[in-house]
């Protein structure tokens, strides 16, 4: 039996490396091609000019104003979307758990609804709503953070809900209240520190989502990173290929870091 298990472990390891190896090759090939394309100099030479330009921001702004505008818009969109998602969702989800358990199903339904409504459909319905947004606060691209918060709801909700399920919010809140804490203190100093990793993962997922969003920005005629990249792709493919690869790598780094956050949480819980 032990020999059988060991033999199988070895066979599985071989399978694992073959499958992961082959698929890694297939999946890295297009990304490598992006890199190769952006470092292609005149006459089969290798050049890093595009990448040097990418870190030289004043020059970048001057050479590709469209790209710069898009990057700036996306930067603000990331900040505002994360802020609004957390400010809106965390207190609501906690509050519903504590005081309005009957609304829980409804809140969950609304938060997961964007999964069944493709962005391309949402944008059709958002057009008239955004006509009002323009009327009240103007047509800046940054106002897209309102729509992005909706797109982020399912992912952020799941992360926060999982985090809250792991702790006993009600007991914690009651304990704090009986010691004289106000609701703000309960939220800020009792609940929030206990779901820190869930909040962090909600934030990371929102960042990745906003960095990659194209559909809504493009169809509402706003600027963001992806719209700029797509626009530039037609005239100066090299720089837009480089930026899109950089954004992809950035998103990967974020999610990789996130995988460590998740692990710490599990380990904490396993300690009796």
Partner 1 sequence: MSRRLRDLLGVVPFFVFVGVFLVIPTLVVAIGAFLGDDGRATLDNVTALADGYIVQAFVRSIVLSAVTAILGAVIGALLGYALVTAEPDSTVRRVVTSACGVLAQFGGVTLAFAFMATIGLSGFVTLFLRDSLGVDIFAGGVWLYDLPGLVLVYTYFQIPLMVIVFLPALDGIRPQWREATESLGGSTWYYWRRVAGPLLAPAFIGSTLLLFANAFSAYATAAALVSQGSPIVPLQIRSALTSEVLLGRENVGKAMALGMVVVVAVVMALYALLQRRTSRWLD
Q: Which of 129, 134, 137, 175 binds partner 1 (CB under 8 A)?
A: 129
Token digits for 205? 């997922």
Question: What is the Cα gyration radius of the chain?
Answer: 23
Cα–Cα distance measured from residue 83 to residue 70, given in angstroms and rounded to the nearest whole number: 20
DSSP 3-state of 20: helix
Q: Which of 7, 33, 65, 189 binds partner 1 (CB under 8 A)?
A: 33
The answer to the question of residue 131 lying near partner 1 (CB under 8 A) is no
Q: Which of residues 145-204 bind partner 1 (CB under 8 A)?
A: 146-147, 149-150, 153
The answer to the question of residue 134 lying near partner 1 (CB under 8 A) is no
Q: Which of 54, 78, 80, 96 binds partner 1 (CB under 8 A)?
A: 96
Cα–Cα distance measured from residue 166 to residue 161, given in angstroms and rounded to the nearest whole number: 9
Comparison of 190 and 245: residue with beta carbon closer to partner 1 = 245
Angle (CA) 17 22 24, round 5°: 90
The answer to the question of residue 75 lying near partner 1 (CB under 8 A) is no
The answer to the question of residue 135 lying near partner 1 (CB under 8 A) is no
Comparison of 58 and 271: residue with beta carbon closer to partner 1 = 271
Comparison of 195 and 217: residue with beta carbon closer to partner 1 = 217
Q: Which of residues 35-54 bind partner 1 (CB under 8 A)?
A: 36-37
The answer to the question of residue 137 lying near partner 1 (CB under 8 A) is no
DSSP-assigned beta bridge partners for residue 40: 46
**84: enclosing H helix or E strand:** helix 65-98
The alpha carbon torsion through 161, 164, 168, 171 (nearest 10 deg) reads: -100
Q: Which of 6, 7, 16, 196 binds partner 1 (CB under 8 A)?
A: 16
């Amino acid at each position: 039996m032990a020999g059988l298990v060991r033999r199988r472990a070895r066979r599985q390891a071989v399978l694992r490396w073959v499958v992961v190896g082959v698929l890694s090759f297939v999946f890295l090939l297009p990304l490598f091609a992006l890199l190769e394309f952006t470092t292609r100099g005149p006459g089969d030479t290798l050049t890093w000019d595009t990448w040097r330009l990418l870190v030289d921001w004043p020059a970048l702004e001057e050479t590709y104003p469209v790209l710069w505008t898009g990057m700036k818009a996306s930067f603000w969109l990331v900040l505002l979307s994360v802020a609004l998602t957390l400010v809106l969702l965390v207190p609501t989800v906690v509050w519903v758990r504590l005081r309005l358990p009957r609304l829980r199903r409804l809140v969950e339904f609304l938060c997961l609804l964007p999964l069944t409504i493709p962005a391309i459909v949402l944008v059709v319905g958002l057009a008239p709503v955004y006509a009002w947004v323009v009327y009240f606060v103007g047509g800046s691209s940054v106002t897209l953070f309102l729509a992005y918060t909706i797109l982020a709801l399912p992912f952020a909700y799941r992360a926060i809900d999982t985090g809250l399920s792991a702790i006993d919010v009600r007991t914690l809140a009651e304990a704090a209240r009986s010691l004289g804490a106000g609701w703000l203190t309960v939220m800020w100093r009792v609940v929030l520190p206990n779901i820190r990793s869930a909040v962090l993962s909600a934030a990371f997922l929102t960042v990745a989502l906003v960095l990659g969003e194209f559909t809504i920005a493009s169809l509402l005629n706003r600027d963001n990173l992806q719209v700029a990249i797509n626009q530039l792709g037609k005239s100066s493919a090299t720089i837009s290929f480089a930026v899109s690869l950089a954004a992809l790598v950035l998103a990967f780094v974020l999610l990789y870091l996130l995988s460590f956050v998740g692990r710490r949480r599990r380990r904490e819980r396993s300690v009796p």
